[in-house]
Amino acid sequence: MSLNVPQTLEAEIDELITHYPEKRSASVMLLHAIQEHFGYVSKEAIEWIASKLELKPINVYELVTFYPMFRQEPAGKYVVKVCRTLSCALGGSGKLHGHICSKLGLDSRKHGLQTASDGKFSVEFVECLASCGTAPVMMINDDFYEGVSHERADEIMGKCQ
């Protein structure tokens, strides 16, 4: 099975490759582009990127398993990342993560990305998001939320349609 990459995305990818004297450098940027479009990085996507960059699939697979932001399974429409690291933990991020998980019927002790049964939300307890002064913080997709109380989390997630 091969990957169906739309022309606009491929054009974007081709442009990204021009940023580097060596094609391989574009790997991570291509993985971002592919994950943004398809929602995850499939085996076919890895093969597609490898052939685009004249690499072996293992070269790309090594990256997908190394960089935490890449996922090999589809996720919910909204990916909620709650910061786990010290400043946020001191600010109550453990409880925030627990609250969100129980709201979505997920097990807060599980590692890695979990998707709720409705398929709308995925939750991950991630490392420092570099906004430690406004703990606890979370991201939903590309958007950032600071000083998130449980009520605020409910409200923000309620607006996700």
User: Which residues make up the interface to ligand FES (CB under 6 A)?
Assistant: 83, 85-88, 128-132, 135, 137
**Least separation in angstroms between CB 35 and another protein:** 9
Judged by beta carbon, residue 11 or residue 128, the one nearer ligand FES is 128
**Least separation in angstroms between CB 14 and another protein:** 15
Cα–Cα distance for residue pair 110/91, rounded to 1 Å: 21
Judged by beta carbon, residue 29 or residue 157, the one nearer another protein is 29
Cα–Cα distance for residue pair 56/48, rounded to 1 Å: 10
Judged by beta carbon, residue 25 or residue 149, the one nearer ligand FES is 149
Q: What is the DSSP letter of 72?
A: S
Q: Which does 140 bind (CB under 5 to 8 A by kind): ligand FES, another protein, none?
A: none
| H/E element, 34 | helix 27-38
Show Cβ contacts of residue 50 under 8 Å, excluding neighbours closer than 6 positions.
56, 57, 59, 60
